[in-house]
Amino acid sequence: MGVPLFASSLERYHDRIVERLAEVTRSGRYILGPEVSAFEDELAAYLGVRHCVGVANGTDALTIALRALGVEPGDEVVLPSFTFYATAEAAVNAGAVPVFCDVDRDTACVTGESVERAITPRTRAIVPVHLFGNVAPVEEIASLGLPVLEDAAQAAGALRGGRRAGALGDAATFSFFPSKNLPCLGDGGAIATNSDDVADRARRLRFHGSADKETFDQVGYNSRLDELQAAALRVLLPELDRWTEARRTAAAAYETQGLGEVAGLALPRPVPGSEPAYHLYVARHERPDALAGALAERGVGARGYYRLPVHLQPSMLRFGGESLELPATDELARTNLALPMGTGLEDTAIAEVVAACEAAAAATPVG
Ligand SMILES: Cc1ncc(COP(=O)(O)O)c(C=O)c1O
């Protein structure tokens, strides 16, 4: 039958979304109107924070949030190298110097220790990334005494200690890119915070650095979530917990159906105390691309992510990445392999993936 890498679909929400989009079209309000305000309130209530600020995408959300937290040109921002490029790009676009730290090899998230090693007197903020939907130990990182911005782009729906990812740090950012756990129909993003000041600064920055559209106190951005995207998100947000539960059930089924016994395959581990949202289900193998090839022959989608970690990307070499030692980052970049995950993964599909992994691993011997 075959199992694609991404097993999710918005098909069944199509009619409701189109209805809401038609209402927005008729209303004539397209920018910063009632849909964005309502979605911001609903997302804030869902997360359990005081404010959400809708912006154009998850990358702008990071840049704006860093500046709203007080990051100034030349300040250092500690962030992982094993992440999507945008985490570091946003710091650079805020004028900051990215200082790359290592991650934990089993969880793919930063730890209090890995962050602490990268802190200097010039550090102004820390950006733990909740990679693949796992949740970094934010309270350990916050105890280091610097502002913490959660990059929760991949972690909508995840929990840590009963609280939502995105409600744990001084601020957090989300992406609603269509492949994300809470998707919109194009680009979209948001900043979440309990701080009135940070929210106020973020609102100004998303509108050219102005509160009243007359006086421009700061050079900001034109970066708003638009009404059409907010209307679609308002249809989908109430589904997020159910979707997340489906992803967790699929992850648990991989274990009960024996994926952990496949020779040479290491399964992802939740950060202790965290309940991941399984944006992706990322295992490790010494020959991941050969294994992906063998899985493709058996109709199962698989691919590696971030093979060249961010500190070694050409545009980032000026920050000294070549002399950094980040062993877990190097290992994960080399060995990671995402296996099928999504909201529509039936038990039969899980069984098919496990059987395909067994056969593919046998055809892909290691060391
Ligand atoms: C960890 C991480 N941070 C930031 C982003 C940027 O989000 P966007 O694509 O909405 O700009 C993404 C997603 O693409 C991401 O995965």
pLDDT, tens digit, 9 for 90 and up, residues 279-288: 999 999 999 9
**Ligand 1 neighbourhood includes 189 CB (under 6 angstroms):** yes
Q: In what order do the strands lie in the sheet with 159-160?
A: 163-164, 159-160, 274-275
Residues 210 and 78 in one domain: yes
**Ligand 1 neighbourhood includes 181 CB (under 6 angstroms):** no
User: Is residue 70 scored above 80 in pLDDT?
Assistant: yes
**Ligand 1 neighbourhood includes 86 CB (under 6 angstroms):** yes
User: Is residue 367 scored above 80 in pLDDT?
Assistant: no
User: Is residue 93 scored above 80 in pLDDT?
Assistant: yes
User: Is residue 242 scored above 90 in pLDDT?
Assistant: yes
State residue 9's pLDDT score: 85
Do the domain assignments include residue 344?
Answer: yes
**Ligand 1 neighbourhood includes 134 CB (under 6 angstroms):** no
Residues 187 and 313 in one domain: no
Residues 235 and 254 in one domain: no
Ligand 1: which of 77, 127, 154, 224 to mutate, most ligand atoms within 8 Å of CB?
A: 154
Do the domain assignments include residue 2?
Answer: no
**Ligand 1 neighbourhood includes 58 CB (under 6 angstroms):** yes
State residue 101's pLDDT score: 98
Domain boundary among 217, 239, 261: 239
- Phi and psi angles of residue 129, each rounded to the nearest 5 degrees, phi first: -105, 130
Question: Residue 249 maps to which CATH number?
Answer: 3.90.1150.10
Residues 145 and 271 in one domain: no
Closest ligand 1 atom to Cα of 189: 10
**Ligand 1 neighbourhood includes 59 CB (under 6 angstroms):** yes
Number of domains within the chain: 2
Mean predicted lDDT score pLDDT of the chain? 97
Do the domain assignments include residue 318?
Answer: yes
Average pLDDT over residues 96-106: 98
Domain boundary among 204, 222, 239: 239
Do the domain assignments include residue 1?
Answer: no
User: Is residue 195 scored above 80 in pLDDT?
Assistant: yes
State residue 90's pLDDT score: 98
Domain boundary among 239, 266, 293: 239
User: Is residue 319 scored above 90 in pLDDT?
Assistant: yes
Residues 226 and 247 in one domain: no
pLDDT per position as a tens digit, 54-64: 999 999 999 99
pLDDT-above-90 percentage for the chain = 99
Structural domain containing residue 192: 11-239
Q: Report how far residue 259's alpha carbon sits from residue 354's, in angstroms, rounded to the nearest whole number.
A: 5
Do the domain assignments include residue 268?
Answer: yes
Question: Residue 132 maps to which CATH number?
Answer: 3.40.640.10
Confidence of residue 320 (pLDDT cuts 50, 70, 90): very high
pLDDT per position as a tens digit, 124-143: 999 999 999 999 999 999 99
Do the domain assignments include residue 320?
Answer: yes
Do the domain assignments include residue 5?
Answer: no
Average pLDDT over residues 236-260: 98
Do the domain assignments include residue 28?
Answer: yes
User: Is residue 147 scored above 90 in pLDDT?
Assistant: yes
User: Is residue 201 scored above 90 in pLDDT?
Assistant: yes
**Ligand 1 neighbourhood includes 305 CB (under 6 angstroms):** no
Q: Whose CA is nearest to atom 7 of ligand 1?
A: 58
State residue 12's pLDDT score: 94
The alpha carbon of 92 and the centre of ligand 1 are apart by a number of angstroms equal to: 15
Residues 112 and 260 in one domain: no
State residue 7's pLDDT score: 82
**Ligand 1 neighbourhood includes 150 CB (under 6 angstroms):** no
Average pLDDT over residues 215-219: 97
State residue 16's pLDDT score: 97
Structure tokens at 303: 């691919």
